[in-house]
Structure 1
Amino acid sequence: MERLWTGAFIRMTVGMLFLFTSFYVLLPTLPLFVKQLGGSTAQVGLTTGTFMLAAVALRPVTGGLLDRFGRRPFLMWGLALFVLAMCLYNWAGAILVLLGLRILHGMSWAVSTTAIFTAITDIIPPARRGEGMGWFSTAMTLAMAVGPLLGIWLKDSLSYHALFLCAACLSAAALLLMLGVRMPFAPQVRTGKMELFEPSVLPIAAAVFLINIAYGSITAFVPLFAGSIKVNSGTFFLVYAATLLLSRPVAGKLSDKRGEAFVIVPSLVITASALVLLGFSTGLFGMLSAAVLYGIGFGAAQPALQAAAIRLARPERKGVANASFLTATDLGIGMGAILLGGVSQYAGYPTLFIISAVLVACSLLVFILLGKRSLGRKETQPLVQYK
């Protein structure tokens, strides 16, 4: 069996941890920074939305370019632009300037993360793709647990200047770690037309879109729901992150041995069950039980779905396939926070989480009827060129 824990894989994974930590330090602190600049609640939402829209707009183009010109130039320039954007936050003294910076930051995020996810699928041996993606995803999980806590501490104990400087240093460390990694690349045969979407992954992208609408409701409304029932939301996310760390590597190995569908189907059932339980929770025990179930279900489903998308795509179309997958993720999270906000306002949080569970059930249905049928073992062409 081919080695998974190569120097390239380790450096990419640790670099991913640094990059996502720098991203997550802004998650709880940027809204407070907007308020400090005199922004309204609507402008807080706008700063989040512009980042997401910029990322969604650029991902498909990035995917097509990755398949034509290789991963390295986009990974390096994307990360360099990301570091620059982090540094520029210290000079954002007005809301309009901040909105422009968020667009730049979102563009750099789209280019760098699409290139990173594509490069790592090239580096991981095909026979261990599920396991590799499971371990690689734990970097994001750790960042999700550490980043917000670090961000709040830096803001409260030091200053926003220290916060943005730390985020810039973390992203610069990610750039330095990935700088010398050799990235295998099989160039796409040029036909004169650059494809922006991979049709073969459409069933997977549709399933991913639906489960991430539900995930958007978790990230946006669990803190508010927890406060309404007198529970610390940080405890929910800490338990959720810890469960993710345990579930993803195990689920990855299972998907390699038994196939992605063997992991995805029960994982989506568990995810839907977690959301139902969350909707009926009235205290700490219910919320923590839901956090454990959600960590197991969503934590196992996400990397297995990505491994399935890569296996369905042609080897020379991995960039577009990853871009399609990540675009579905971004759109789902963004729309979940926006669309389900009205549900929470008029029908309450329990109804919101029940609707989220129904969306996960629809994702399961889409996968069983369309995605599962499409999956089949494919031989991967050897990658011989490096860029």
Structure 2
Amino acid sequence: MERLWTKSFILMTVGLLFLFTSFYMLYPTLPLFIKEMGGNERQVGLAMGALMLSSVAFRPFVGGLLDRFGRRPFMIGGLLVFIASMYMYNWVGGILVLMGLRILHGMSWAMSTTAMMTAITDMIPAKRRGEGMGWFSTSMTFAMAIGPMIGLGIMQVDSYQSMFQFAAALSVVALLLTLGAKMPFKPITGQKKIQIFEKSVLPVMAPIFFLFVAYGGITTFVPLFAAEIQVNSGTFFLVYAATLALSRPIAGKLSDRTGEVAVIVPALIMTILALIVLSFSTSLFGLLSSAVLYGIGFGSAQPALQAITLRMAPKDRQGAANAFFSTATDLGIGLGAILLGLVSEYTSYSVLFSVSAVSVLIALLLFTLYVKRKSMHIGEKSGASE
């Protein structure tokens, strides 16, 4: 069996952990920073959304450039701008300057993460793609769990400036780690046209989008819902992260043996069940039961969907495929938070989580109707060619 745990794979996986930890330190702290500057809720929303929109707009171009010129230049360039952006928060003195910085930060986030995720998928042997995706996705999920806690901890005992500097330092470590990794991808010489659009992966983008609409609702509104039922939301995310970290590598190995479809369909069903349980929860037991189900369901579905996206794309278009995958997730999270916010404003959290379950049901139906048969056909063709 081909090696998965090479030096380069380990360096890139740990590098992603440091980069994502740095990024997620801002999630709970930046709104507080904006409010302290005199900003209102609308400006908080605009500032948080500016990065997402900038990232979504820039990713497809990055994907095309990666396939044309290689991964390393954009990985290093993106990380350098990301480090500079993170450090420049120290000098922000007004909302307008902050908006401009968030747009720059979003461009660097799109460039660095798309390049790093594409480079690491290049390193994963084809027969162990699901397992490899599971492991490096786990590093990002772990960062999502510890990043906010580190950011809040530094802010509470020191200052925003110290927090921004520490986040910049983590990004420097990410850059140093990735410099030691070997990039197996070699750009095709003589190819002049840069292709940003990869139509082969379009069928899977819609299921990914609807799955992440629900994820946007979970990350945004579970803390508010937990406070309403007088439960600590940190326990939900801790149990969710632990369950997800345990289930992802197992699901990855299973998808390598049985195919991604055999993992994705039951995983989406379990995600729907988790959201239904959450919509009826009134106590800690219900919240934690939902966290376990959601960790297994979402934790198994996400890397398998990324693996199937890469399998559907040509080998020389993996950068564009990764960019489209990340664009679908960013759009889902951003629009999910906005649309589900309107649902919660006019109804209740119970209805919000029920609507989230419907969104994942739509993802399941779209996957079954438009992706399942096509992916199996691709699998048969690749098997015959081997």
- The two structures have a TM-score, normalised by structure 1, of 0.96
User: Which residue identity lines up with residue 45 of structure 1 in the other structure?
Assistant: G
Aligned to 1:8: 8
Task: Give the whole-Å Cα distance in 2 for the aligned partners of 1:157 and 1:207.
Answer: 42
Alpha-carbon offset, residue 190 of structure 1: 6.1
Deviations 1:65-100 (A, max 9, x none): 000000000000000100000110100111111111
Task: Give the whole-Å Cα distance in 1 for the aligned partners of 2:190 and 2:292.
Answer: 47
User: Which residue identity lines up with residue 4 of structure 1 in the other structure?
Assistant: L
Task: Give the whole-Å Cα distance in 1 for the aligned partners of 2:96 and 2:218.
Answer: 29
Deviations 1:232-258 (A, max 9, x none): 111111110001110100000000000
Aligned to 1:366: 366
Identity level (%): 64
Does 1:200 pair with 2:237? no
Aligned to 2:209: 209
Does 1:60 pair with 2:94? no
User: Which residue identity lines up with residue 317 of structure 1 in the other structure?
Assistant: R
Contact 1:127 1:256 in 2 (8 A): yes
Contact 1:186 1:315 in 2 (8 A): no
Alpha-carbon offset, residue 318 of structure 1: 0.3
Does 1:123 pair with 2:84? no
Task: Give the whole-Å Cα distance in 2 for the aligned partners of 1:345 and 1:264.
Answer: 32
Deviations 1:172-219 (A, max 9, x none): 000000012111114347665432221111121111000000100001
Aligned to 2:69: 69
Task: Give the whole-Å Cα distance in 2 for the aligned partners of 1:17 and 1:166.
Answer: 15
Where do 1:93-242 residues align within 5 Å? 93-188=93-188, 192-242=192-242
Contact 1:25 1:147 in 2 (8 A): yes
Task: Give the whole-Å Cα distance in 1 for the aligned partners of 2:113 and 2:105.
Answer: 12
Alpha-carbon offset, residue 56 of structure 1: 0.3
Task: Give the whole-Å Cα distance in 2 for the aligned partners of 1:327 and 1:267.
Answer: 22
Alpha-carbon offset, residue 379 of structure 1: 4.7
Aligned to 2:290: 290
RMSD: 1.2
SS in 1 for 2:66: helix
SS in 1 for 2:363: helix
SS in 1 for 2:27: coil
Aligned to 1:248: 248
User: Which residue identity lines up with residue 290 of structure 2 in the other structure?
Assistant: A
User: Which residue identity lines up with residue 81 of structure 1 in the other structure?
Assistant: V
User: Which residue identity lines up with residue 58 of structure 1 in the other structure?
Assistant: F
SS in 1 for 2:256: helix
User: Which residue identity lines up with residue 194 of structure 2 in the other structure?
Assistant: M
SS in 2 for 1:281: coil
Instruction: Give the number of equivalent residue pairs.
Output: 380
Contact 2:56 2:110 in 1 (8 A): yes
Aligned to 1:383: none
Task: Give the whole-Å Cα distance in 2 for the aligned partners of 1:51 and 1:88.
Answer: 15
Question: Which sits farther off after the overlay, 11-20 or 136-145?
Answer: 136-145
Change (3 A) 1:190 1:341: farther
Where do 1:216-365 residues align within 5 Å? 216-365=216-365
Deviations 1:306-344 (A, max 9, x none): 000000100000010001110000000000001111100
Task: Give the whole-Å Cα distance in 1 for the aligned partners of 2:188 and 2:243.
Answer: 39
Aligned to 1:36: 36
Task: Give the whole-Å Cα distance in 1 for the aligned partners of 2:145 and 2:332.
Answer: 21
Change (3 A) 1:89 1:353: same
Question: Which sits farther off after the overlay, 199-208 or 319-328?
Answer: 199-208
Contact 2:11 2:180 in 1 (8 A): no
Contact 1:13 1:136 in 2 (8 A): yes
User: Which residue identity lines up with residue 50 of structure 1 in the other structure?
Assistant: A
Change (3 A) 1:165 1:345: same
Runs of 4+ that moved beyond 2 A? 186-195, 376-380
Deviations 1:115-141 (A, max 9, x none): 011111101111101000100011111
Contact 1:68 1:190 in 2 (8 A): no
